[in-house]
Amino acid sequence: METPSSTAATSAKFIPDSRQAWIRLALALAIGSIGSVGMWSVVVVLPVVQAEYHTTRGAASLAFTLAMLGFGLGGVLTGKLTDRFGIVPAIGLGVVVLGLGYVGAGVSTSLWQFVLLHLLIGAGSSATFGPLMAEASHWFERYRGLAVAIAASGNYVGGTIWPPLVNWGVQSFGWRPTHIGIGVVCTATMAVVLLALRARMGRHEAHRHLNAPPPRIDLRLPTNTLTALLCVASVACCVAMAMPQVHIVAYCGDLGYGPARGAEMLSLMLGFGIASRIGSGFLADRIGGIKTLLLGSVAQGVALLFYLFFDSLGSLYVISAMFGLFQGGIVPSYAIIVREAMPASEAATRVGMVILASVLGMSLGGWISGVIFDATGSYAAAFINGMAWNALNVTIMVALLIRARGRPAVA
């Protein structure tokens, strides 16, 4: 019979990049794909919820705002829990919160209840993104970048799978039973996968960072200063990123192509974003997280420039695919940089802070682009604004790259 001491010994002998590590990563991807439902369902049910509560589109959209806020703040909280107790308890809490949020939304009797419960939905989903990226970085050394990128891809895989499933549920049973069903099904399936992950982690996985591969680079910056710089960079790149992602549907409508074409372009972005995330992981393992993020940010700026000069239907499809291919690897690169330059014991917390900054950047970018459109009557100035924010991100990455040049890894 296996004793606690033998389990601890097994955990202590865990080898990075091993078959065991890849099995853990596969389970993490499954959890991330299921848990990301909280980021996508509200977009699908928005029209029917608005109609049932006889409210404005803006009021109904507050549910998405609360989900994003919960996702950002929840990422910091679950990151701290992960660093202290391990990924299994953190995700376990997220599963419970996600289930309660969806069941509560399904039985809500007023709009304010529906909106407020999306704070729980976003917080529950957050445990399956940032903390999983940080955790995957502890399981790999040679393929650390690829592992982080795969863990982050669960969000985009969910973005491909969940919207049509939620739409089918709404059309077949109504939005209330669909929400209750999501809560029950996600709680049950994620609990099963989490138990499988726990079996692979061992009882002492909360202290796994003691054996995690050490940081690779020394940026000669205090950890808090580096975290702040990465947060500013994250806000900047995500303000730029939000311009096409949030407004491409409306932009296509203004050009006379119709919102359906814009929705297709958004799906194209997400699809190519998956390929981008995996590709960026391969690249990061060869050139490092800072260079990978810098290349992605420069390429994102080029795509924004193309949007400014080309607006035919065919060119917009091509540019949207390019945009997804360029930007998909940016956010995971922050998690890679955190693990390359910061202590493993703080990784999930620091990644959570940067993800919170990215959420704020996406929210600011979506809003400010709309304000600029209202003031100017076109999206041209909004694209230029996005390019300016993107330039700030590039500047910070160049500065970090210069500081990292020629420095030895921290033992």
Q: What is the CATH number of the domain that holds 395?
A: 1.20.1250.20
Identify whether residues 174 and 99 lie together within a single domain: yes
Cα–Cα dist 83/345, whole Å: 6
Each residue's pLDDT, cut to its tens digit, for the chain (411 residues) gives 444 444 444 445 678 888 899 999 999 999 999 999 988 888 778 778 888 988 876 678 788 888 888 998 999 999 889 888 888 999 999 999 999 999 999 999 999 999 999 999 999 999 998 888 888 888 888 898 899 889 988 888 887 788 888 888 988 999 999 999 999 999 999 999 999 998 887 654 555 555 566 677 888 899 999 999 999 999 999 999 988 887 887 788 888 988 778 878 887 887 888 888 889 889 999 999 999 999 999 999 999 999 999 989 999 999 999 998 888 889 889 989 998 888 888 888 899 999 999 989 988 887 888 888 888 888 899 999 999 999 999 999 999 999 886 444 443
Q: Which long-range contacts (CB under 8 A, 24 or more apart) does 394-399 make?
A: 394/294, 394/297, 394/298, 394/301, 396/229, 396/232, 396/233, 396/236, 397/233, 397/290, 397/293, 397/294, 397/297, 398/294
Identify whether residues 344 and 369 lie together within a single domain: yes
Label residue 85 exposed, middle or buried (CB < 10 Å: 0-12, 13-18, 19+). Answer: middle
Cα–Cα dist 272/299, whole Å: 14
**How confident is the model at residue 211, as a pLDDT?**
59
Q: Does any domain span residue 11? A: no
pTM, 2 dp:
0.79
**How confident is the model at residue 203, as a pLDDT?**
54
Identify whether residues 268 and 385 lie together within a single domain: yes
Structural domains of the chain, count:
2
Q: Does any domain span residue 276? A: yes
**How confident is the model at residue 213, as a pLDDT?**
63
Q: Which of 36, 344, 11, 30 is nearest to 195 (CA)?
A: 30
Identify whether residues 299 and 368 lie together within a single domain: yes
Identify whether residues 153 and 242 lie together within a single domain: no
* DSSP code, position 220: S
410: three-class secondary structure by DSSP: coil
Q: Which domain holds residue 329?
A: 223-404
Identify whether residues 207 and 227 lie together within a single domain: no
Identify whether residues 323 and 394 lie together within a single domain: yes
Count Cα neighbours of 332 within 13 Å in the Cβ-side half-sphere.
38
Q: Which of 38, 108, 47, 43 is nearest to 74 (CA)?
A: 38
Q: Does any domain span residue 363? A: yes
Identify whether residues 204 and 233 lie together within a single domain: no
**How confident is the model at residue 104, as a pLDDT?**
96
Identify whether residues 182 and 142 lie together within a single domain: yes
